[in-house]
């Protein structure tokens, strides 16, 4: 992941060695200056210990969750994406997962979502990935298809109209909204068409083709988005999948879509590149997908070459009743980690400070922490968490003067 050195003065970068976010022992002078109370804790908190997955090593276990930014046109990345993602890499995130990226034009959640359905998308993403690599960050991309929740308005328009449906003038595709069954999420979404077997094969191939492009763009990790009521999860849940063919009905049939996509993507990814799956561990609705189903699926996918389950929940049915509380979804990551040998797990959901994150990892409840909204509030979440836990870590060279202290001294 080392950046390519260049003599071009317009592309100069400061060598970050070690990379920001890496735990390092403070010097005696740094202790005297108040940057640390003393040596790093021994043993070092696992949150700041590296994690190796296949051919890649994340320098710490605090990772950026994929979050839709609604800032693209025709799927192309922009200067916003460069600024947005680079800030997390520069400030020490161990892994940054780029937002849900449509594998087809109609696979986007909104007309303003990123895409990777054509080769022209590769160069812009490659520039972003290359810049993040300068800070020693592992970079992933979440590949997805919006399914019945596609063709909706971007977040900034929520509450401005009665419906979440985007219009033709805004770039919508109401005639191409489809899912496993012709069941709308709710009255504010388009009613999807039930997919034909031919359409299922087209979508599966689109995931594979997008994974090839992700590899060409330099991404280290690919994550399949099978959560929050989007297409791959719509097939999993009996609440949204009422098919009577080989892709509906039994557990084996409902999981077939995701298993076949994962198998196809794993075949085209280099052996050293990890494959993740983000999963809604439960629907939080009686009669829906349950954690026991997630565990059963994980036992299958670990044998298909999936390396980590990114354990979220909900998003597939408006009747969901979610018991919101700090760390409320950690239980799912713990169950996957404990019951599926060989499968790593990521915990996500209202993890808002270093102490909560560290407790999860120290207690072996998960292998990594995915943080979303707290990174939007505090892009320096890794740096502030280290300070909170008394761990001395490398700051980006250019921001050294802003480094947090435990005391103030003129030494």
Residue 5 in this model has a pLDDT that exceeds 60:
no
Percentage of the chain with pLDDT > 70? 97
**What's the predicted TM-score (pTM) here?**
0.96
Alpha-helical segments (H) within 75-121: 79-90
Nearest to 345 by CA among 276, 408, 254: 276
Distance, CA of 138 to CA of 16 (rounded, Å): 15
Q: Can you tell me the mean pLDDT for 365-369?
A: 98
- Residue written as tokens 């997630």? 294
- 247 annotated active-site: no
Nearest to 98 by CA among 75, 15, 368: 75
Distance, CA of 357 to CA of 219 (rounded, Å): 26
Angle, vertex CA 158, rays to CA 156 and CA 161, nearest 5? 125
- Record the tokens describing residue 25, joined without a space: 């022992």
Q: Can you tell me the mean pLDDT for 189-215?
A: 98
Residue 155 in this model has a pLDDT that exceeds 90:
yes
User: Residue 20's pLDDT is what?
Assistant: 97
Catalytic pick among 13, 230, 247, 328? 230
Residue 8 in this model has a pLDDT that exceeds 90:
no
Alpha-helical segments (H) within 134-272: 197-216, 231-236, 251-254, 256-268
User: Residue 9's pLDDT is what?
Assistant: 72
| Burial of residue 130, with CB atoms counted within 10 A of its CB: 0-12 exposed, 13-18 middle, 19 or more buried | middle
Measure Cα distances from 102 to 76, 112, 243, 391 in Å: 11, 10, 24, 39
Q: Can you tell me the mean pLDDT for 52-67?
A: 98
User: Residue 14's pLDDT is what?
Assistant: 84
The residues that bridge with 64 in the sheet, in sequence order, are 96, 371
Which is it for the CA torsion 243, 244, 250, 253, positive or negative? negative
Residue 297 in this model has a pLDDT that exceeds 90:
yes
Residue 33 in this model has a pLDDT that exceeds 90:
no
**What tens digit of pLDDT does each residue of 245-275 get?**
999 999 999 999 999 999 999 999 999 999 9
User: Residue 130's pLDDT is what?
Assistant: 96
Task: Give the pLDDT band (50/70/90) at residue 410.
Answer: low
Nearest to 233 by CA among 277, 187, 173, 172: 277
Residue 329 near residue 312, CB atoms below 8 Å: yes
Nearest to 94 by CA among 136, 127, 123: 136
Residue 1 in this model has a pLDDT that exceeds 60:
no
Q: Can you tell me the mean pLDDT for 97-103?
A: 98
Residue 4 in this model has a pLDDT that exceeds 80:
no
Distance, CA of 8 to CA of 365 (rounded, Å): 46
Residue 399 in this model has a pLDDT that exceeds 50:
yes
Distance, CA of 57 to CA of 22 (rounded, Å): 12
User: Residue 406's pLDDT is what?
Assistant: 74
Residue 411 in this model has a pLDDT that exceeds 80:
no
User: Residue 7's pLDDT is what?
Assistant: 58
**What tens digit of pLDDT does each residue of 320-357 get?**
999 989 999 999 999 999 999 999 999 999 999 999 99
Residue 231 in this model has a pLDDT that exceeds 60:
yes
């Amino acid at each position: 992941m080392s950046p390519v050195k260049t003599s071009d003065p317009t592309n100069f970068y400061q060598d970050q060695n070690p990379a920001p976010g890496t735990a390092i022992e403070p010097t005696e002078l740094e202790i005297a200056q108040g940057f640390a109370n003393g040596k790093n804790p021994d043993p070092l908190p696992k949150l700041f210990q590296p994690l190796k997955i296949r051919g890649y090593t994340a320098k710490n276990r605090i990772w950026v969750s994929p979050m839709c930014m609604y800032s693209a046109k025709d799927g192309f990345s922009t200067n916003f994406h460069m600024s947005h993602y680079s800030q997390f890499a520069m400030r020490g995130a161990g892994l940054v997962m780029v937002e849900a990226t449509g594998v087809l034009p109609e696979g986007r959640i909104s007309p303003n979502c990123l895409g990777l359905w054509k080769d022209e998308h590769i160069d812009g993403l490659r520039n972003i990935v290359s810049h993040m690599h300068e800070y020693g960050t592992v970079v992933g991309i979440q590949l997805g298809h919006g399914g019945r929740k596609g063709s909706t308005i971007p977040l900034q328009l929520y509450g401005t109209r009665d419906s979440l449906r985007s219009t033709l003038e805004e770039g919508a595709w109401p005639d191409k909204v489809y899912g496993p069954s012709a069941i709308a999420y709710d009255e504010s979404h388009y009613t999807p068409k039930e997919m034909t077997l031919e359409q299922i094969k087209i979508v599966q191939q689109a995931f594979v083709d997008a994974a090839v492009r992700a590899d060409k763009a330099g991404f280290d990790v690919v994550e399949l988005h099978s959560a929050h009521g989007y297409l791959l999860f719509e097939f999993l849940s009996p609440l949204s999948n009422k098919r009577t063919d080989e892709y509906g009905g039994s557990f084996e049939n409902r999981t077939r879509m995701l298993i076949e996509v994962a198998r196809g993507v794993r075949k085209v990814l280099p052996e050293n590149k990890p494959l993740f799956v983000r999963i809604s561990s439960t629907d939080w609705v009686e009669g829906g997908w349950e954690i026991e189903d997630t565990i059963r699926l994980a036992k299958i996918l670990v044998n298909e070459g999936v390396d980590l389950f990114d354990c979220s929940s909900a998003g597939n049915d408006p009747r969901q009743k979610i018991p919101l509380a700090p760390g409320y979804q950690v239980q799912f990551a713990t169950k996957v980690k404990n019951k599926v040998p060989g499968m790593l797990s990521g915990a996500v959901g209202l993890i808002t400070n270093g102490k909560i994150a560290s407790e999860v990892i120290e207690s072996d409840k998960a292998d990594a922490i995915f943080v979303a909204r707290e990174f939007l509030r505090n892009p320096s979440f890794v740096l502030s968490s280290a300070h909170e836990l008394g761990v001395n870590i490398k700051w980006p060279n250019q921001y050294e003067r802003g480094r947090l202290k435990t005391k103030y001294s003129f030494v």
